[in-house]
Amino acid sequence: MKLIVRFILQVFKPRRNFYTMGGMFFFLSVIFNPQCRKIKENIEFPYNMTKPDKEFVLGKNLSEVSGLSFITEEEVALIQDEIGSIFFFDLEKNAITNKITFSKKGDYEDLKIMGDTGYVLRSDGNLVELSGLSNGNVKENNLNTPLSGKNNTEGLCYDDQKKILLIACKGKPEINKKGKDLENKKAIYSFDPLTRTLSDTPYVLIDVNEVQKTARGVYSNVVEKLVKFYTKAGAVHSFEPSGISIHPVTRDLYVLSSVGKVLVIVSPEGKLSNVIQLDPKVFRQPEGIAFDSTGNMYITNEGRQGKGNILEFNIINKIPKLTDI
């Protein structure tokens, strides 16, 4: 016990006595409380988020890149905030190979390309449907949804199994009404491209409090957890979705948040399963996320007075397919 107290005093020596005593009581409660001792173990995460395997630096015309979508294994489509153009970027050539302008200026946040058709998400919740992408004879069709600027929609992806688009709201979770059950939550709605209808209720709800608790609870070492708790290192102060994508192997939903610098993982059943905190030195302003067919992850960052980029994160260990489990 003397060793434990001595350690606490050393860790919090520069701090005021109030925090020192608080740290001691917190530490002792964790040690001797049976429930607190059951600290959540580190969940094995298949990517090293501290160091990207490759970085693609983008030109000035993509300094505010806000979303990406895979077209082939070597080519992605990019959208920039406030510019109604789709840029085609070749990952092998590390260069823009084509550009399609479909509209004037607007607040465009994300996109998804599915064969000859593409969907571009605006911050006001509306979708721009683009057809004829392969032959260059592009036709634009604006699809209005019940979502609005108050929802501040920023993330878009496609579930190729359920055949629906998913739209993540950075702002208010409810549609045209108030709901206490939605307070302090972030919503993801589904949109059916065939019927062109949005779900009446959220497809997924993410509790911001749960995100914060999970972020604080992933440290299996109690001393590390204590130090991080009191020094506020790695604390998640907020969570506002800026990009979403479905993992092609696990079917988990990856939700990226530039605010708070976190990557939230939601299981196929809609349960929060992991929270990965991102280094702001690596992720200046993460806005878009997508996977290739093998599960390698790509995240876009806005430039903030500089050039935007695409960061590639390769799978560390092969993930077993759901059918193999």
> Which domains, ranges and CATH numbers included, belong to the chain?
1-38 (no CATH), 44-324 (2.120.10.30)
Closest CA to 90 of 69, 76, 71: 76
Give the pair of three-digit tokens for residue 1: 């016990």
Cβ atoms of residues 90 and 310 within 8 Å: no
Please state, in angstroms and rounded to a whole number, the distance separating the CA atoms of residues 5 and 21: 10
Query: Which pTM value belongs to this model?
Result: 0.81
pLDDT confidence of residue 147: 96
What gap in Å lies between CA 254 and CA 264, rounded to an integer? 6
CA–CA separation, 266 and 215 (whole Å): 14
Please compute the mean of the pLDDT values over residues 279-298 and round it to a whole number: 96
Rounded Cα gap, residues 37 and 32, in angstroms: 7
Q: Are 63 and 303 in contact (CB under 8 A)?
A: yes
Give the pLDDT band of residue 6 (cuts 50, 70, 90).
low
Whether 80 shows a pLDDT value over 50: the answer reads yes
| 3-state secondary structure (DSSP) of residue 111 | strand
Tens of pLDDT along 104-116? 788 999 999 999 9
For residues 93 and 74, what is the distance between their CA atoms, to the nearest angstrom?
9
Amino acid at residue number 165: L
